[in-house]
Amino acid sequence: MDYLENWIVQARKGFLELCILNALEGEERYGYDLVKSLVDTPGLGLTEGTLYPLLSRLRLQGLVTTRLEESPEGPARKYYALTARGRKIAKQMNEHVEQMLQGSRGLRARKE
Amino acid sequence: MLEWTVSAEAELERYLAEARTAASVSGADPEEVEGDLRRHIEQHLADAGVRRATRDDLARVLSRLRPARPTPASEPPEAIAKPRRISLGLIMAFGVVLPVITLVFEAFTGLCGELFVNPIPTLWHVLLVATVPLANALAWSRLAFGRPASLKLVGLFNGFAIGVALYYTFVFLPVTPFAAIGIIYFGIGLLPLAPMLSLIMALAARRILRRYDRPVGALPPAGRWALAALGTIALLATPTIVTQAGLQWATTESPATRARGVGLLRALGNDDLLLRSCYRRDRAVGNMVSFLFEGLGRRITSEQAQQVYYRVTGTPYNAVRPPELRGLRTRALINAEDFDWDQGGDAVAGRLRGLSLRESRLDSRIEADSGAAYTEWILVFRNDAERQREARAQVALPPGAVVSRVTLWVDGEEREAAYAGRAKVKAAYQRVVQQRRDPVLVTTSGPDQVLVQCFPVPANGGTMKIKLGITAPLAPESREAGLLRLPYFRERNFSVPREVKHSAWIESPQTVAALQPEDQVLAEHPSERVYALRAELEDRALSRPFAVRVAMAGHPAWAALREDESRVVRQVLDETPVDKPGRIAFVFDGSRSMSSEAAAFGEVLKYLPAGVETAVLLAGDRPLTVRETAPWAPEAATDVVKALSEARYRGGCDNVSALAEAWDLAAAVPGGTVVWIHGPQPVSFEGEEALLQRIERRPNGPVILDLQVGAGPNAVAVMLNGSPALRAVADFGDPAAALARILDAWAGRKAFYRFERTRVPRSDIAGDIPEGSSHLARLWAFSEILRLGASIHEADKEEAVALAVRYRLVTPVSGAVVLETAKQYQESGLEPAAGDTVPRVVPEPQTWMLLLMGGGLAAARAWKRRRARPS
């Protein structure tokens, strides 16, 4: 693995959780649909199997809630939604990322 | 519904197992992640329109979930995913069919239980054994069709079945060589090998599942579930282990260990298992634990178990329904197990299947002038079992009564009994019982109690009809009224069906009324000189017991003696006050049957005369002093009631030790008396000889007044049969009132009436004293026999037997036996009573009536001769 690939893996680790929380912002989504949309997000470079352990951890930490609902078209669907705490954390994370990006951009602009 | 090929499902399980491991390392919930991934994969396949998922289908989905992995070259291709047909055939034959046949065969026949050890003593054991063929069937189905159960469930059942089969293989190990020899030489004996063969099949199925139904990691480990099976077996065996250990302890020599055993059984023992050990037929089909205990420990006899059962539960073992035999055995097998081991013996013992009372008729005639009554009790027994039965019962007689007639119907005709010494009639009975002919034996078994034995009640619905004639004195309440109690069963080995009622008819020349109100009692007045009560009594109502109050003449009466022309029996009503005892030692039974009764008797103690030295003992597991010997004060009753109320009444307690202790206290002063208030005493306890020795060596020692509460046997009364030291307290349906009557008499508060019968010269009888019936003479003879029988001189005892034979009475020194033929009587040296000498319930003709009839006959004959003479 070259240096860039390694950096992308490291950067993606924390960023993935934020992406999940953002995807659930304002609406409830079922797992299969959520995973499909995240996998299709450019830059994340995900495989579908990676996301479920993350979703489980978020539930255990109380950031998302889940419920099961029978589906006539296939297996039962598991719906995910943000908790109040999840919303609050997501907001703080987004602000922090924004700050980091602004800071980083600011450093570049000063040199230029 | 999505279906999976075997290899596809195996691949899926492997992937999910890896995902679980990864999830648990990452801090996620492995179960949740597994479920999410499974749903995700199924959704993918559903979207793609897949109905039966193959490994290729799965590989496509997994490539999206993770980078694709190359298929290992060693993995079997899809085409050979099924095991060989021979393997499947063997699993089905020896792992499923054979154990099912064995289980059904044993459940229906109980053959193994008969010959070796019962492998399925409870329904739980049946279910446990059934898991073996079930597990093998699941494995077979999984290997053959890849369904219906998941690999996880199949593995779980397989491990459990291995544990069960392993246990039973070990149990049947001793018979395995014989079974193997049987197969080799005779081609039979496969069933004992069923546990071993099904174990082999379960292990083989597991091996094949591992090989063909990968991945290996998905099959739950066998050891854990096998241990669970062994744990379940141990759990099922726990009640048996505790009960068997308790039985071993409760029958040791050491009193402390015995007490510990009884305590353990009371706390944790299984009453049903304990009851089974009281019956020999159930002992023959013991389970594995009983088998081990009997092999390694002491063998406990049925009699020992019966005693322990009473000590633990407080209920005689034969007072409860015999335990059902488990398994659907054939009728013949049940019948074979129902052998009556006590036939011809002195014990009533357990209830016999099929034997019942079908009819009961009581006819009582009260003779108000004589203060006596005669009751005939006709009993018809029926036997629906497939073998002949002996009907046995302890019959409680009216207070002071004596059996004066015993009759058996043979081919529709009445046969009267012969009367002789106890040993002689018993020997005649036992000889005839061995020949399976028709005898009836009646002997006394304690004060106011007889043992009745009838054999054979024919099998398959046969009946046997007998009659007991009982001569009883009325118990005078005053000069104008007396009480009579009907006889009842204290203990019996036959059932009394609910629909069978005791049909009672009590008639008197003066008014008669039931003492306890009974719904089914009707008063009748059929003629001017006959007052009667008619009742249809349930057995419970009769044994409460049932008593009547009758008007009587309290004037003197006399009756002729047999074979003694010069003397007569004279009866007078005595009301001289009774002396209060020098000391009274009360013994209260601490058994469970007395838990709601003892305190009520304590209340009655307030009627005790003040100042008399009194001690109160409670016969618990060990004798307990409730009150030390001290002069009685009425306020002491409160303390005694409190102590009796707070005492713990558990199981069945040894009363003999407390009686011996009370006897010693009472014997320390002249005129000491023991008052023993107790429930049924079905078993003998150690120490009886010590009590018997005290009584025999001190003929003028304390009297034990015996007051039993509730119907049931009394082993102490049987032991002291014939001893004048033991006297039954006359109970007419209210034991507490019976005790109060005695205490009132001691305190001098109420007159105590009793009949005195003496033998006087005929010349002493003035013309105006009415003649009583022959029952007066029988009652005099009975009291004389008791007096002579208690003597230490052999001549007196012989005279007592002669008197009993002359008056044809069943007494402590004599018995009555009915045999079938004149030859049997001759062989036994016995002579049956002539039909015209036995008492009858119809009025006996008075002497003047006989003279009148004789004179009339003579006159008729003379007139006939005169007419025939030629003029």
Q: What is the mean pLDDT of residues B183-204?
A: 78
C-alpha A87/C-alpha B557 separation (Å) is: 114
Q: Maximum Cα–Cα distance for chain B, whole Å?
A: 152
Q: Which amino acid is at B371?
A: G
| Nearest CB to A35; choose among B19, B27, B40 | B40
DSSP calls for B419-450? EEEHHHHHHHHHHHHHTT---EEEEEEETTEE
- Name the minimum distance, in Å, from the CA of A111 to any CA of chain B: 41
Residues of B in contact with A54 (CB under 8 A): 28
* Span B595-600, average pLDDT: 83
Dist CA B589 CA B389 (whole Å): 35
Question: Is the CB of residue B128 less than 8 Å from the CB of residue B163?
Answer: no
Residue B545: is the preceding peptide bond cis (ω within 30°)? yes
Asked if residue B708 has pLDDT above 60, the reply is: yes
pLDDT in tens, B399-411: 999 999 999 998 8
Does residue B355 contact residue B349 with C-beta atoms inside 8 Å?
no
Please give the residue of chain A at the shortest CA–CA distance from B42.
Answer: A75
What's the predicted TM-score (pTM) here?
0.65
Mean of pLDDT values over B26-50? 87
- Confidence band for A70, pLDDT divided at 50, 70 and 90: confident
Mean per-residue pLDDT for B414-431? 86
pLDDT of residue B114 exceeding 50, the answer is: yes
Bridge-based pairing state of the strands A77-82 and B3-4: unpaired
Judge contact between B372 and B341, C-beta under 8 A: no
* Pairing mode of beta strands B613-619, B623-631: antiparallel
Does the CB of A78 have a partner CB in chain B at under 8 Å? yes
Rounded average pLDDT over B246-268: 87
- Identity of the amino acid at B774: S
Is the per-residue pLDDT at B214 higher than 60? no
Reading the block at residue B709, the tokens are: 């509460």
pLDDT value at B189 more than 70? no
Interface of B with A (CB under 8 A): 19, 22-23, 26-29, 32-33, 35-40, 42-43, 46-47, 64-67
Name the closest residue on chain A to residue B25, using Cα atoms: A53
Residue B401 confidence (pLDDT): 96
A109 in B contact zone (CB under 8 Å): no
Distances (CA, A) of B791 to B445, B507, B689, B717, B796: 19, 38, 19, 19, 6
Q: Is A55 on the interface with B (CB under 8 A)?
A: yes
Residue of A nearest to B32 (CA): A56
Contacts of B43 in chain A (CB under 8 A): 32, 74-75
What are the chain A neighbours of B19 within 8 Å (beta carbons)?
49, 52
**What does the pLDDT look like over B537-557, one tens digit per residue?**
999 888 888 999 999 888 888
Chain A, 12 to 51: residues with Cβ < 8 Å from chain B are 31-32, 35, 39, 47-49
| CA distance linking residue B173 with residue B116, whole number of Å | 12
Task: Identify whether the C-beta of residue B223 lies closer than 8 Å to the C-beta of residue B159.
Answer: yes
Look at residue B634 and tell me whether its pLDDT is greater than 50.
Answer: yes
- pLDDT at residue B147, rounded to an integer: 64
Is the minimum CB–CB distance between A65 and chain B shorter than 8 Å? no
B333 CB contacts (<8 Å, ≥6 apart)?
A: B109, B110, B114
* Alpha-carbon torsion (B379, B385, B387, B390), positive or negative: negative
| Distance (Å, whole) CA B212 – CA B216 | 9
CB contact under 8 A, A56 and B39: no
First to last CA, chain A: 32
Q: Where are the domains of chain B?
A: 3-79, 84-234, 238-325, 358-556, 583-750
pLDDT at B330 over 50: no
Q: Tell me whether residues B67 and A47 touch, CB distance under 8 A.
A: yes
State whether B40 and A59 contact (CB < 8 Å): no
State whether residue A59 sits within 8 Å of chain B by CB: yes
Q: Which pLDDT does position B242 carry in this prediction? A: 85
Give the pLDDT of residue B864. 62
Nearest CB neighbour to A78, from listed B23, B26, B39:
B39
Q: Is the preceding omega at residue B148 within 30 degrees of 0, hence cis?
A: yes
Q: Which of B337, B311, B213 is nearest to B258 (CA)?
A: B311
Per-residue confidence band for B437, with pLDDT thresholds at 50, 70 and 90? low
Q: Which residues of chain B are within 8 Å of residue A74 when distances are taken between CB atoms?
A: 42-43, 46-47
Distance CA B648, CA B314 (A): 13
Query: Has domain A3-111 been given CATH number 1.10.10.10?
Result: yes
- For residue B846, is pLDDT > 50? no
A53 vs chain B: nearest CA distance in angstroms? 5
Chain B residues whose beta carbon lies within 8 Å of the beta carbon of residue A52: 19, 23, 28, 32-33, 36-37, 40
Give kind and range of the element (H or E) at residue B163: helix B151-171
Q: Is the pLDDT of residue B149 over 90?
A: no
Reduced 3-state DSSP string for B216-284: HHHCCCHHHHHHHHHHHHHHHHHHHHHHHHHHHHHCCCCHHHHHHHHHHHHHHCCHHHHHHCCCHHHHC
Who wins on pLDDT, B397 or B435? Answer: B397
Q: Distance from A101 to chain B by nearest Cα, in Å?
A: 28
Out of A35, A39, A56, closest to residue B23 by CB? A56
pLDDT at position B217, please?
A: 43
**pLDDT value, residue B571:** 92
Residue B41, min C-alpha distance to chain A (Å)? 9
Distances (CA, A) of B440 to B410, B416, B429, B453, B851: 11, 10, 7, 6, 37
Q: Binning pLDDT at 50, 70 and 90, where does residue B801 land?
A: very high
> Is it the case that residue B869 has pLDDT exceeding 80?
no
Best mean pLDDT range from B7-11, B358-362, B792-796: B358-362
Can you tell me the mean pLDDT for B500-521?
Answer: 88
pLDDT value, residue B284 = 43
Give the residue, B239 or B871, on which the prediction is more confident.
B239
Q: Is the pLDDT of residue B7 over 90?
A: no
Q: What is the pLDDT of residues B44-61, one digit of tens each?
A: 888 888 888 888 888 888
Per-residue CA distances from B3 to B50, B55, B472, B829 (Å): 9, 12, 89, 92
Q: Where are the beta strands (DSSP E) in B528-590?
A: 530-537, 547-551, 557-561, 564-574, 583-589
Residues 6+ positions from B308 with CB-CB distance below 8 Å: B246, B247, B250, B251, B261, B262, B265, B274
**Partner B contacted by A69 (CB < 8 A):** no
* Pair B747, B608: CB distance under 8 Å: yes
Provide the pLDDT for residue B570: 92
- The CATH code belonging to domain B583-750 is 3.40.50.410
* Average pLDDT score over chain B: 83
Query: Residue B203: pLDDT band by 50, 70, 90 thresholds?
Result: confident
Write out pLDDT tens, residues A9-36: 788 877 888 999 999 998 899 888 888 8
Q: Do the beta carbons of residue B786 and residue B444 sit within 8 Å? A: no
pLDDT at B625: 93
Write down the CATH number for the domain with range B358-556.
Answer: 2.60.40
C-alpha distances (whole Å) from B281 to each of A15, A58, A83, B277, B388 are 79, 68, 71, 9, 17
Check B28 against A35: CB less than 8 A apart: no
